[in-house]
Amino acid sequence: MGNGGLRYCINCLPGEMPNWLSYSGEGCSLSFHIPQVFQGLVVWFVCSLEIPPWQLNSRTTIIIRNKSNGIQLFEDKRLGPEPAGWIRYISRSEMAMKDYCGDHELELHIYSEPIHYCGDDELKLVHIKECGVHVIAGKSDSFEESKVRRDIVMPASPLPYHLLPHPLCGSITASTPKQWSDYLFAKLQEHSLDLILDGKNKYFI
């Protein structure tokens, strides 16, 4: 996980999304930009079930597409979700980057559909409360230094993110693989959770 090349999914993470993610918002979709050079994206979303989770088997789909032309760059389907936070790390190699055009805006869309009705004809809904995207990329030290004012007191502990320049957004927050893995493992330890290897270069909780 330290080099940003391993993919993983965490489907029962307690707590809220951090407020320093590159992009976040209420609901099941959002628009975002990415830098030209990046190593991966973290998709984080929080669900609430309108019925107890043991009454419903559902399938959740994560889609990232080019917003200007609708070309799909990524899709992932999985069973779930639980009424808690979900994290899916997407490495750059998993995305169809050949279909990404320069600085085009991208769109994340997450939806869930029931696959088992427990003998009941009534539709059982899974509600995506909020979602976010966080960029994993190296630092641009000269840019970040120019953004830091001399009168700002730097925190005693290292921040889990840094600033990256972007021609359309001015700047976006991002994390290096080490910044992100340090933050994630600290959060997992806080809740006594472990990552388990599930096949080559794939982890889950």
In 3D, which of 191, 197, 196, 195 has the Cα closest to residue 13? 191
Q: Looking at 115-161, list the stretches that DSSP marks H as alpha helix, in order from N- to C-terminal side.
A: 141-147
User: 192 — phi, psi (to 5°)?
Assistant: 55, 45
Other Cβ atoms less than 10 A from the Cβ of 134: the count is 27
CA atoms of 68 and 40, how far apart (whole Å):
21
The per-residue pLDDT for 176 is 94
Residue 202 inside a domain? The answer is: no
The per-residue pLDDT for 2 is 46
In 3D, which of 136, 139, 134 has the Cα closest to residue 163? 139
Domain boundaries, position 127: 7-194
CATH classification at residue 63: 2.60.120
Q: What is the mean pLDDT of each run of 10 residues along the chain (205 residues)?
A: 59 78 95 91 83 65 92 85 75 86 87 65 70 91 47 59 86 93 85 53 43
Residue 1 inside a domain? The answer is: no
Residue 77 inside a domain? The answer is: yes
The per-residue pLDDT for 116 is 59
Residue 185 inside a domain? The answer is: yes
- How many domains in the chain? 1
The per-residue pLDDT for 141 is 56
The per-residue pLDDT for 51 is 59
Residue 135 inside a domain? The answer is: yes
In 3D, which of 205, 128, 133, 145 has the Cα closest to residue 172? 133
Residue 199 inside a domain? The answer is: no
The per-residue pLDDT for 98 is 79
Q: Under DSSP, is residue 138 helix (H, G, I), strand (E, B) or coil?
A: coil
Residue 203 inside a domain? The answer is: no
Residue 70 inside a domain? The answer is: yes
